[in-house]
Amino acid sequence: MYFASDNSGPVHPQVLEALAEANQGYQMAYGADALMNDVRDKIRALFEAPGAAVYLVATGTAANSLALATLSEPWQTIFCSPVAHIHEDECNAPEFYSGAKLTLVPGGDKMTPAALRQSIAGEETRGVHGPQRGPVSITQVTERGTVYSLDELQALCKVAKEFDLPVHMDGARFTNAMVALGCTPAEMTWKAGVDAVSFGGTKNGLMGVEAVIFFDETRAWEFELRRKRGAHLFSKHRYLSAQMNAYLRDDLWLTSARQANANCVRLAEGLRAAGASFLHDPQANMIFASFPRAQHKDLHAAGAVYHLWGAELEGDDSEEMLACRLVCDWSITNAQIDQFLSLLN
């Protein structure tokens, strides 16, 4: 009963097999391995973007920070949600890499076009004194488990384009969002107006690989230099390629994300049946639910692992409602979910 994070589960067995497969003979280092060509071709095909620049790094923070640094200048701001991972969970890495300031668009998990427009319009009205407008960063799945619809994405990108600003998507849970929407990679990115994507694999069954995709290849060389200067270029790069290659082969990325989302549906339905309420509508693989302290205590006692959300387990009022975050990855079994749910009754 481990719902703490989609970082906590095992790597998908097909990925380990792919690593073993790749572990033959000699390969050029630093991204010149043959497997990387396959990966690049696959991503270009899946995204219907034959001219895209494609790179691999090992952490989501690296993908976001390097992508944003490439899209921005140190005297600019990056527009994002106040709960964006790049703001709350990356210890100033985006600022370190880009030099830019993050402008928090007022609102919740999702930015609205109106709030984004107002934030952008409010900047660059002071000439050289204020920072200048830079990229917009959209988190899809959001950090609250919700998913922007294609219409919502298009509307945000349209606002960015009004001001001629590039758009970045933090897709640490890209595939969970995509299968939730039932759309194509292209529809969720460049067709909606996204210029660069952090295309996550780690949270969806890989060991540690994220692709960074630029639909405009003119930024490719700068990204390569930034990646090396950031110490994120792997010498034995073939093992990153092998993971991403396995991910995109035989629909592993899709089946893993569908499984994770389905696990989440099963869990959410059970929680709802048990009387829990939801802080956000669970649309992908994360649930923010609220139920009585007594139930949390029972779950903890039985070994369930997950994070309380702005709440403390200790306390006397067993009826008090405590919020929590529950995350499902591809590896959670129905049995684990059902065991968890059984403890709520």
Min dist CB 319 to a copy of itself, Å, is 26
Residue 220 binds a copy of itself, judged by CB under 8 A? no
Q: Toward a copy of itself, which CB reaches closer, 172 or 192?
A: 172
Pull the structure tokens for residue 81.
């949600």
Helical spans, DSSP H, in the chain: 13-22, 34-46, 60-71, 85-88, 93-98, 113-121, 150-162, 174-181, 185-188, 220-229, 238-248, 252-273, 293-301, 334-342
The secondary structure of residue 2, as a DSSP letter, is: B
Residue 334 binds a copy of itself, judged by CB under 8 A? no
Residue 236 binds a copy of itself, judged by CB under 8 A? yes
One-letter amino acid for residue 43 of the chain: I
Segment 302 to 331, residues that bind a copy of itself, using CB under 8 A: 305
The secondary structure of residue 333, as a DSSP letter, is: -
Angle (CA) 10-15-20 rounded to 5° is 120
Q: How far, in Å, CA of 140 to CA of 26, rounded?
A: 38
Segment 33 to 92, residues that bind a copy of itself, using CB under 8 A: 57-62, 65-66, 73-75, 88-92
The binding track of 150-189 with respect to a copy of itself, each residue x by CB under 8 A or -, is ----------------------------------------
Q: Toward a copy of itself, which CB reaches closer, 41 or 88?
A: 88
Q: Toward a copy of itself, which CB reaches closer, 4 or 183?
A: 4
Tell me which stretch binds a copy of itself (CB under 8 A): 43-51, 128-136, 155-163, 248-256.
Answer: 128-136
Residue 132 binds a copy of itself, judged by CB under 8 A? yes
| DSSP letters spanning 146-162 | ----HHHHHHHHHHHHH
Tell me which stretch binds a copy of itself (CB under 8 A): 113-121, 150-158, 175-183, 221-229.
Answer: 221-229
Residue 275 binds a copy of itself, judged by CB under 8 A? no
One-letter amino acid for residue 124 of the chain: E
Q: How far, in Å, CA of 148 to CA of 16, rounded?
A: 32
CA atoms within 13 A on the CB side of 291: 23
Q: How far, in Å, CA of 2 to CA of 309, rounded?
A: 16
Residue 290 binds a copy of itself, judged by CB under 8 A? no
Min dist CB 185 to a copy of itself, Å, is 23
Residue 282 binds a copy of itself, judged by CB under 8 A? no
In the list 93, 197, 244, 304, the residue contacting a copy of itself (rule: CB under 8 A) is 93
